[in-house]
Chains A and B, each alone.
Chain A
Amino acid sequence: MTKTIKVSRAWGEVIEARALVMREGFSPRYDLDRWTGVISRIGHSAEGESIRDRVLVIPTTKGGVAGGWAFFDLLHKGIAPKALVFGKLNPVMVQGAVLARMPVTEGWDEDALQVIRTGDMLRIDPASRVITVLD
Chain B
Amino acid sequence: MTGHMEPRGESAAAGTMLLDAHEQAMLRGDHGPAVQEAIRFQIEVGNFFEAKRFVTITNAHVMGDIEVMGDGGLEHLRAMGEHHARCTVPTSSNAQCMHFHADPRLKQDEEEIGKENEILQRYKTMRIAPTDTCIPYQTVYQPKMGEHVAWGDTGTVIYANSVLGARTNFEAGKASFAAALTGRTPEYGFHLDEVRRGTILVELRAQLRDLADWGALGKIVGHPHQDYFAVPVIDGIDRMPLSDELKHLGASLASYGSMAMFHMVGVTPEASTREDAFRGRQPAGTMVVTDADIQAVYDGYRYRDGGNNIVVFSGPQLSLFEMQDLAELFQGRKVAPGMAAVVTTNHMVYSDAKRLGYVDVLEGAGVTILQGVCFYILQRLSKIREENGWTNLISNSGKLVNTITAHRFNTVLRRTADCVEIACTGRLA
Contact = CB atoms under 8 A, between A and B. Distances in A.
A91 B260 CA distance: 11
A60 B258 contact: yes
A64 B48 contact: no
Name the prevailing secondary structure of the B interface residues.
Answer: helix
Interface string B170-195: 11111110000000000011000000
Question: B interface, how many residues as a size bin?
Answer: 35 or more
A72 B70 CA distance: 9
Contacts of A94: 45, 48-49
B171 A91 contact: yes
Q: Which of B63, B76, B153, B226 has the most CB of A within 10 A?
A: B226
Contacts of A68: 63, 152, 171-176
Contact of A76 (B49, B70, B171, B382): B70
A60 B170 contact: no
B47 A72 contact: no
Contacts of A59: 226
Contacts of A98: 41, 44-45, 48, 174
B172 A62 contact: no
A96 B72 CA distance: 13
Interface stretch (B207-215, B345-353, B354-362, B399-407): B399-407
Contact of B226 (A42, A62, A92): A62
B55 interface: no
Interface residues of A, number: 41
B406 A64 contact: no
A61 interface: yes
Contacts of A61: 226, 228, 258
A91 B169 contact: yes
A21 interface: no
Contacts of B188: 91
A99 B226 contact: no
A81 interface: no
B16 to A, nearest CB: 11
Interface string A90-110: 111011101100001000000
9 contacts: A30-B405, A61-B226, A66-B68, A68-B174, A69-B64, A69-B174, A73-B70, A96-B172, A99-B41
